[in-house]
Amino acid sequence: MDDLYELVSDEQSCLDDGAYHAFTRKDDPAFVRSFFAIAQADEHYAAVIKGENKVIGLIHLTDSEDGRGKSVGYHINKAYRRRGFAKEAVLAVIEYCFESGDAEYFFAECYEYNTASRRTLEALGFELTGIYHNRVFHPQRGWIDSLCFCRTRSSPTQYPQLPDS
């Protein structure tokens, strides 16, 4: 639980992830409720540093309305960004879902100003498909746009396939 708290205690990361404020205390009842709600809702995968058993991020999936696709979102601990962990973790989850037949396509959103997330999605083979104007009210930026992306099994990826283990 300490690793998850570390993930959601950085204010700017939380605002960039979903325009919500960071948690300020581990014993905050709202954090505890959120922790258990996350565990029960949708599908979640932990991004873990091999050999350290440290959770550095979460990848969450939500089924599409038609049941053939999944929305993918990810949140990586600020201290572990810009090292390829988001790409590696999201790619592993996507490949798992494609191989198991759980999804025919994936879609994702990121805020227009979040260029790092946009680059990650594009490197994973996601293509920009649209823009939601004034999608959400951001506490620092006001009304912001959200970029919509989609990836199919045949979408090219700029990131190498994971090695067989």
| Interval 2-23: pLDDT, tens | 766 666 666 666 666 665 666 6
Domain topology for 2-152: Aminopeptidase (3.40.630)
The three state secondary structure string of the chain is CHHHHHHCCCHHHHHHHHCCCCCCCCCCHHHHHHHHHHHHCCEEEEEEECCCCEEEEEEEEEECCCCCEEEEEEEECHHHCCCCHHHHHHHHHHHHHHHHCCCCEEEEEEECCCHHHHHHHHHCCCEEEEEEEEEEEECCCEEEEEEEEEEECCCCCCCCCCCCC
Q: Supply the pTM of this predicted model.
A: 0.78
Q: What is the pLDDT of residue 160?
A: 43
Task: Encode pLDDT of 119-149 as tens digits.
Answer: 999 999 999 999 999 998 888 889 999 999 9
